Amino acid sequence: MKVVQYLAPTFEPISLSELKLHLRLDSGSFSSNIDETQLIPPAVHIVNAGYTLFYELLTLDVAPGGAGWAAGDTLTGATSTKACVVVEKLTALTYIVKNRTGVFTLGEHISNGTADADQGTAYPTFTPAKVEVLGYQAVVTLEAGTFTTGTLDVKIQDSDDGATWNDWPASTPNAFAQVSTANDNQTFKVAYTGTRRYIRTAGYIQTAVCPFSTTVIRLNPMFAEDDLLNAIIVAAREHVEDITRRQIITATWYYYLQNWPGRTGYRGIPSRDYSGGGMFMLNNNSYLESYYIKIPFGNLQTITSVKWKDSAGTEYILVEDVDYIVEKNGNQCGKIVLPYGVVWPTGMLWPSNPITIEFVCGWTTAALVPSNIKSAIKLAAEDLYYHGDRSDILDDVIEKLLSSYRLWEEF
């Protein structure tokens, strides 16, 4: 089997914080073991419609004309009619905004009433203020000042990708109790115990302005060997991948084949069956296996492309659902299968790696990775951190943790 990783994972199944907790490492002082990120900065916030008070980075590709935009300006999309308020101008093309009332239309004119910005087809974009919490212990605080007649409701929302947001916890309307004159001038705290990668807060102010802020506090001990620990996590994950023959976290691979399934002849030409009157045929005992290509590493997400080159070097691309169908098979090995009545291409193949399959596989989020695999990665990392001194004990434990997750298919 010849495979080459094209795109490596962009995150790991365990975080630096999780490994430190497993190894019982910290930085030695409380203040250096935590970090804080303000999601809604301290201010007297005005009445808004629904849970639209959250801060975002607005990015343009065409700057507004005239005097431009400034803090306090209300920006409105000409096509969408949606609006947001500028909190801070960073550059002529980037702004911190809040109170967005809906989805702006890509390519529309945006104006503050005097200065217009006509956007290209991929703009404007909005990137929410968010905090990564996967693998961390996190607490969200709501600091409420003195209220007059207004009320404040604040939600915690979480997301796997930073784009699609869900209320947390889903079973209750709000993570925090409503704040009013009866319970103002205090700090409210909620520990986030969800499983998604990011969180943010969204505020809903009614009747009158309300002074408040929200902050996320994470347990994130800094350690002199953080770079080493991050490298160990990668090495431990790759070690577990070798044992299980799996791709644990999303990655893109190229899979090269020298011939089509069932073809044992020279460079794509079916073998001659000398005992059967000289007819060209599939000359192997695994008749059914000639109708599919098994894809390694499990958890197949997509087949990006199936390409082949003929003897002249001309490249052809097979069409999904016409030339082949994809069978994902859950966390087992997926397959590329011939539809009924279809055969593999019969042209003579290029002499080296003529068939290339690009595919994406692995669990899509760290939260989906089975706990046994995560535990094995932590133990493998522990063994690496202590220079292999614990291999006699840990190797057997790692093997037992991974025994039911190993893929046994041969390629």
Same domain, 98 and 190: no
| Element spanning 372, H or E | helix 371-385
Same domain, 37 and 176: yes
- The b-or-e profile of 296-306 (16+ CB within 10 A means b, else e) is bbbbbbebeeb
259: in domain: yes
Same domain, 213 and 142: yes
353: in domain: yes
CA distance 25 to 17: 9
Q: Count of domains in the chain?
A: 3
Same domain, 172 and 271: no
- How does strand 109-111 pair with strand 2-7? unpaired
- How does strand 210-219 pair with strand 315-317? unpaired
DSSP state of 331: T
Q: What is the pLDDT confidence band of residue 281, given thresholds at 50, 70 and 90?
A: very low
Per-residue pLDDT, averaged over 377-402, amounts to: 92
- Mutual angle of helices 391-402 and 226-244, in 10-degree steps: 50
CA-to-CA dists, residue 267 to 330, 348, 351, angstroms = 33, 6, 7
Q: In a 3-state reduction of DSSP, which class is residue 96?
A: strand
Per-residue pLDDT, averaged over 300-318, amounts to: 96
Per-residue pLDDT, averaged over 306-324, amounts to: 96
Same domain, 343 and 296: yes
User: CB–CB of 199/158 below 8 Å?
Assistant: yes
- Rg, Å, the chain Cα set: 28
Q: Is residue 166 scored above 50 in pLDDT?
A: yes
User: CB–CB of 153/142 below 8 Å?
Assistant: no
Who wins on pLDDT, 401 or 346?
Answer: 401
82: in domain: yes
- The b-or-e profile of 385-399 (16+ CB within 10 A means b, else e) is beeeeeeeebeeebe
User: CB–CB of 138/198 below 8 Å?
Assistant: no
7: in domain: no
Residue 360 φ/ψ region, left for φ over 0, alpha for ψ in the -120 to 50 degree band, beta for the rest:
beta
CA distance 18 to 209: 41
- How does strand 2-7 pair with strand 251-257? antiparallel
3: in domain: no
* Percentage of the chain modeled with pLDDT above 90: 73
Same domain, 188 and 109: no
pLDDT at 118: 96
CA distance 225 to 124: 40
pLDDT at 266: 53
Same domain, 145 and 35: yes
CA distance 354 to 348: 10
pLDDT single digits (tens) 18-72: 898 898 887 667 777 888 999 998 989 989 888 988 999 999 999 999 999 999 9
pTM: 0.66
Q: What is the pLDDT confidence band of residue 176, given thresholds at 50, 70 and 90?
A: very high
CA-to-CA dists, residue 404 to 13, 31, 100, angstroms = 18, 42, 48
241: in domain: no
Q: Judging by beta carbons within 10 Å of its beta carbon (0-12, 13-18, 19+), is residue 404 exposed, middle or buried?
A: exposed
The domain boundary, picked from 328, 344, 361, lies at: 361
Provide the token pair at 375: 């535990």
Same domain, 136 and 210: yes
258: in domain: yes
The domain boundary, picked from 361, 382, 399, lies at: 361
Q: Is residue 407 scored above 60 in pLDDT?
A: yes
| CATH classification of the domain holding 193 | 2.60.120.1110
The residue range of the domain holding 85 is 56-128
Per-residue pLDDT, averaged over 363-386, amounts to: 95
Same domain, 35 and 173: yes
Q: Is residue 274 scored above 80 in pLDDT?
A: no
Same domain, 282 and 339: yes
How confident is the prediction for the chain on average, in pLDDT? 90
Same domain, 107 and 181: no
CA distance 409 to 297: 9
Provide the token pair at 387: 């220079």
CA distance 167 to 54: 14
The domain boundary, picked from 73, 99, 128, lies at: 128
Same domain, 77 and 205: no
Q: What is the 3-state secondary structure (H, E, C) of 167-184?
A: EECCCCCCCCCCECCCCC
Per-residue pLDDT, averaged over 365-371, amounts to: 93
